[in-house]
Chain A
Amino acid sequence: MSDPANAWMENWLDSQQNYWKAWAEMAQGGMKAPEPARMPWSDGINQWWQSVSHMAPPSGRDVFDKLMDVSRGYFSMAEKFVNAAGKESGLDTMNGWLENVQKTWGDWMQGGNMFRPDAKHKDMMAFWDLPLDTWQRMAANIMPMPGDFTQAFHPEGTTQTMDQMRGQVNRFLSIPAVGYSREQQEQYQILAQRMMDYSAAVNAFQTGFGKLAMETTQEFQQSAREMAEKGQGMNTLREIYDKWVEMSEAAYARFVMTEEYQTLYGRLVNNLLAVKQQMARMVDQNLEALHMPTHAEISTLQCRQQEIRRENLRLKKDMKAMQQQMEALRQQLLKLEQQPAPAKAPVAAKAPAVAKAPAAAKPAAKPAAKPAAKPAAKPAAAKPAASRAKSGAAKSK
């Protein structure tokens, strides 16, 4: 019986191969071969993954998901080259793609967040959107709303209208609240303002990457020209992809060390957190109204508890030092008692300071058994030396 993970793929690959073979034979045989059909590889790989992904174990599922994301882009590139076969050169195909990337980002930057890319354009933006895309996924994990919630703002009109509208909304949000629910109204106004600020920060961040994308495509074209002049070339998709990544990383590394990026980064992080902070404040107000413990109150308690723990640990340390000092004194006293009585009383008041020398403390004591903070911190761990932990056994997440 065939392996189900492979069976679908094998059948699909066979059909693709048969089709291609037939097409190539017709072309080579001097017949007028039909224009090759579009090779729906990226769709095919999607379908394959949808049909087999449930078989992937949890430990490798995420990795394969990421591999599939990359594969879609890779296959999409392959489609472009094959679909252009016989019609244009590889250089023309590549240039066409690069120009499309530039146009897409150009349109986006002109239209701001009112530009709604279709699926094809989204594909072209996806590579450069990687940092923002992962940021939004991360944001979704720490916010009670989707990470890309700013994408839902689709005001109609031109950029100019958008700016005007923003100005008007800002003015509206700054109207002083009045009446019985004044404070609540103010809180909602602050939240709306912060969400708009965050949306603007996301937009600015993406615009920065748009500029970077356009610069990189120009550099890539320049690099291709130089390669051609030197008689060098690339024969595989993988070579092109690796070169593209290498040049993109180099351009990115320059960009992110600029003052501009530092500002964009700071704005993105700070504005997201400002939204979250305002949300938390409003949740706390509601909790308070319900006579439930608020986040702020719990934080206060945690802070005080930590202070008490520190104090407790300090006292324990002091007590241990005193115990050691007492023990040293006791030993000294014993020695003195064992000595014959001197003619004059000895000065026995000064004991040697031993507080900070555990290694010098009484060797017969069993120090390993009772480290200072252990018993109070975790009574259950009174016999830690006996518990044998294999790798990861102590993980307490």
Chain B
Amino acid sequence: MNPFDIRPDAVMQEVMGYSQKLSHGLKNLMDVGEISTGVSPKTAVYHEDKLTLFRFDQPKDAIPSKVPLLIVYALVNRPYMTDIQENRSTVKALMDAGQDVYLIDWGYPDRADRFLTLDDYINGYLDRCVDVIRERHRVDKINILGICQGGTFSLCYSAMHPDKVKNLVTMVTPVDFQTPDNMLSHWVQRVDADLVVDTMGNVPGEMLNWTFLNLKPYQLMGQKYLGLLDTLDDPEQLKNFLRMEKWIFDSPDQAGEAFRQFIKDFYQQNKLLKGGLEIGDEEVKLKNITMPVLNIFAEQDHLVPPDASRAMRGKLGTKDYTELSFPGGHIGIYVSGKAQKTVPPAIGKWLDERS
């Protein structure tokens, strides 16, 4: 049998259909208007340098948990992913689950921020945000939800300041940076991080974008756009696509010194897991994490493989450790319909039982 039974008239029809979708799609594109992201109302409660700490506005009659929840997002990409649109908002779903949600927006570092270190980010900015929230709510400890690199920061923070963290939730957070299936880690092993930072100062967001797109280049730089054709005639779906596209390419530059340390200590030497990681003057010991920990990872995560997160098990000092596995990818865990229904409610329930 001929495996490619392609009739010319069928090709003709396919091309016609394709072309019509293109031209009609362009019309929809012209009407699409402004692409909004970060949809839930929020109030800035603290500023420092480029950083803004937001508190999401509670609905009128809501009685949220007394222990506030701080979301610590990665320096890479922008935190509005957690609140990207009305019906795909982890933040909104967390509030629906009774949480009083704060979020750190790290901003866009420029050359003046080139010498910010991980110590500045974790023991500086993050610690001061935690203090602001503790003071506002008059509590000794708050809950923290760290996402991706922000989860790694949250682990480091909780190890160094266990007296300020009541419960720690990590989402798609790498702990073992050298699992055999970690593409990013494999690639950067021979990259001269000193040369990168000494030459570039801050590391351009475009450079990181290129790296992330190359995790699946033929899908992410080609096939994805062909898939767009099927949704071009639906203005709402087109908007969703553009919203996601905006987020993917909205990559802040990385403060040079922090990047240097993150690549060398975490990716190249795996010190968080192996030991010997120092942030500022202090050694980060995972055994110091004694508060309850909920570790959530995505089974099809191509950025942070599940094993990179699972490595947390048995390495912490806590006796209350829970894992939650989500059948999806690194992004789907915030934005998919299934995630909206399962992940934030599970976080809310877990926190309520411990707050």
Count contacts on A: residues with CB < 8 A to the other chain.
123
**Of the residues B1, B4, B139, B187, contact of A94 by C-beta under 8 Å:** B4
| B207 x A142 contact (CB < 8 A) | yes
Question: A residues within 8 A CB of B20?
Answer: 9, 13
**Of the residues A5, A142, A245, A276, contact of B30 by C-beta under 8 Å:** A5
| Measured CA separation A69–B24 after assembly (Å) | 18
A265 within 8 A of B: yes
Which residues of B from 12 to 64 have beta carbons under 8 Å from A?
A: 12, 14-16, 18-20, 22-24, 26-27, 29-30, 32, 34-50, 52, 54
A22 within 8 A of B: no
| A130 x B221 contact (CB < 8 A) | yes
| A233 x B136 contact (CB < 8 A) | no
Stretch at the interface among A165-173, A234-242, A344-352: A234-242
Interface of B is mostly: helix
| B221 x A66 contact (CB < 8 A) | yes
Which residues of A from 247 to 281 have beta carbons under 8 Å from B?
A: 248-249, 252-253, 256-257, 261-263, 265-267, 269-270, 273-274, 276-277, 280
| B2 x A228 contact (CB < 8 A) | yes
- For the complex formed, measure the closest distance between the CB of A390 and the CB atoms of chain B, giving whole angstroms: 7
A343 within 8 A of B: no
| B225 x A391 contact (CB < 8 A) | no
| A90 x B2 contact (CB < 8 A) | yes
Stretch at the interface among B148-156, B194-202, B271-279, B316-324: B194-202
Given A248-B218, A368-B135, answer yes or no on A262-B26 (Cβ-Cβ < 8 Å).
no
| B14 x A78 contact (CB < 8 A) | yes
Most buried by B among A233, A248, A394: A394
For B231-258 the 0/1 string (1 means CB < 8 A from A) is 0000000000110011001001000000
- For the complex formed, measure the closest distance between the CB of B203 and the CB atoms of chain A, giving whole angstroms: 10
Question: A residues within 8 A CB of B34?
Answer: 59
B176 within 8 A of A: no
Question: A residues within 8 A CB of B3?
Answer: 90-91, 224-225, 227-228, 232-234
| Measured CA separation A277–B116 after assembly (Å) | 21
| A63 x B217 contact (CB < 8 A) | no
B111 within 8 A of A: yes
Stretch at the interface among A105-113, A114-122, A381-389: A381-389
B262 within 8 A of A: no
Question: B residues within 8 A CB of A100?
Answer: none
B346 within 8 A of A: no
Question: For residue A298, which residue of chain B has the nearest CB?
Answer: B111
| Measured CA separation A394–B37 after assembly (Å) | 13
- For the complex formed, measure the closest distance between the CB of B6 and the CB atoms of chain A, giving whole angstroms: 4
Given A48-B23, A360-B140, answer yes or no on A245-B219 (Cβ-Cβ < 8 Å).
yes
B342 within 8 A of A: no
| Measured CA separation A91–B4 after assembly (Å) | 5
A203 within 8 A of B: no
**Of the residues A6, A234, A253, contact of B4 by C-beta under 8 Å:** A234
Given A142-B200, A277-B195, A391-B36, answer yes or no on A374-B48 (Cβ-Cβ < 8 Å).
yes
Question: B residues within 8 A CB of A224?
Answer: 3-4
Question: B residues within 8 A CB of A277?
Answer: 195, 198-199
A48-B23, A78-B14, A273-B200 known; 11 other A-B pairs, CB under 8 Å? A82-B11, A261-B187, A269-B192, A277-B199, A306-B116, A384-B44, A384-B45, A387-B43, A391-B40, A395-B107, A396-B107
In the complex, the 8 A-B pairs of residues with the closest C-beta atoms, listed nearest first: A266-B190, A391-B38, A367-B135, A90-B4, A9-B23, A85-B8, A306-B115, A394-B52
B-to-A contact residues, CB < 8 Å: 1-12, 14-16, 18-20, 22-24, 26-27, 29-30, 32, 34-50, 52, 54, 80, 83, 105, 107-108, 111-112, 114-116, 120, 124, 128, 131-132, 134-140, 163, 181, 183, 186-187, 189-192, 195-196, 198-201, 204, 206-207, 209-210, 213-214, 216-219, 221-223, 225-226, 228-229, 241-242, 245-246, 249, 252
Q: Pull 17 A–B residue pairs with CB atoms less than 8 Å apart, ordered by A.
A: A5-B27, A20-B12, A90-B5, A142-B204, A240-B6, A252-B218, A253-B183, A256-B214, A257-B183, A371-B46, A371-B128, A371-B132, A378-B49, A391-B38, A391-B39, A391-B83, A394-B52
